[in-house]
Amino acid sequence: MASTYSTSLRIQLIGTGDQPGVWGATTNTNLGTLIEQAITGYRAISVAGLTTYTLSNLNGVSDESRNAVLSFTGSLSANCTVTAPAVNKVYIINNNTTGGYSIIMTTGSGTTVAVPNAQTYIVYSDGTNFYFASNFNAGNVQITGGTIDNTVIGGVTPAAGSFTSVTTPTINPTSGTLTISGTGAVTLPSGTTAQEPGTPVAGMIRYNSDINNFEGYNGITWGSLGGSNSTSTGLWQNAQTITSNQAIQSGYNASSVGPITISAGVSVNVPTGSTWLVL
């Protein structure tokens, strides 16, 4: 009776009376190589530059599709669809490629699963379709209760020592007032006059490193916010060189202590009815 092969792992099934005296070699291959590969096997497979790849699928000898863990490597420029044998099988799929694309597991028919770049998922096939072994994979985790680092999920007040790192936040207080407690300081954006925002909005404030002073935008022009210009010092200072276009707001007068130099290509707009006094 001729040998046959199991459906999922393709292990050689010795027929009755076959391989007298040599059956041990086949048994050792079955147990020591093929079954071990299915339980603990790891195979790295390069799919660099590919959009499709078919796993090797062999009877009675080592192959790719029998391994428990498949790690896909190489640079991708599109998603890569990997075709596995249309049999029952569990896989751990590691998408270790570069380029930001997914590894899509399929049997060639039925449903597929996509393993995102830099992720490792447990998936399985029922012989036709591929499924995720868990509902909690990256990108689809839903947390509806409990705590994280002693902070109640959904709460607005973090526990002490929790959530202390915030990157580029946008704060929109519903009351219109932002209160920051503590005895520290707020660091404002700092840069030269040339680095002022190209399309400023009234209310912006920053530190101008050219004039070593804080400045704010009133909807028309940037102006000093204080710093060395303070009643506590007894001095009110102004720059001796005007390096960007300035405009006196309609209905207001302005004064400066000279000498004042206006840089080439720069203007100071004094509206009708207003006065600019240079002392």
pLDDT, tens digit, 9 for 90 and up, residues 18-58 = 888 888 888 888 887 889 889 999 999 999 999 999 999 99
Q: What does the domain layout of the chain look like in residue ranges?
A: 4-132
> Which amino acid type is present at position 253?
N
The tokens 């036709």 sit on which residue?
Answer: 128
pLDDT value, residue 28: 83
Reported confidence tier of residue 228, pLDDT bands at 50, 70, 90: very low
Span 167-173, average pLDDT:
63
pLDDT value, residue 220: 79
The proportion of the chain whose per-residue pLDDT surpasses 70, expressed as a percent, equals 85
| Euclidean distance between CA atoms 18 and 133, whole angstroms | 40
| Euclidean distance between CA atoms 16 and 139, whole angstroms | 52
Q: Does residue 159 have a pLDDT over 60?
A: no
| Euclidean distance between CA atoms 148 and 80, whole angstroms | 36
Span 52-81, average pLDDT:
95
DSSP string, 59-120: SSS--STT-SEEEEESB-SS-EEEE--SSEEEEEEEE--BSS--EEEE-SSS--EEE-TT-E
pLDDT single digits (tens) 178-222: 777 788 888 899 999 889 998 999 889 998 887 777 888 888 778
pLDDT value, residue 169: 62
**91 phi and psi angles, rounded to 5 deg:** -130, 150
Neighbours of 57 (CB within 10 A): 15
Reported confidence tier of residue 141, pLDDT bands at 50, 70, 90: low
Angstrom CA distances, 252 to 203, 249, 271, 275, stand at 19, 6, 9, 8
| Euclidean distance between CA atoms 237 and 243, whole angstroms | 16
Neighbours of 16 (CB within 10 A): 5
pLDDT value, residue 105: 97
Span 129-142, average pLDDT:
77
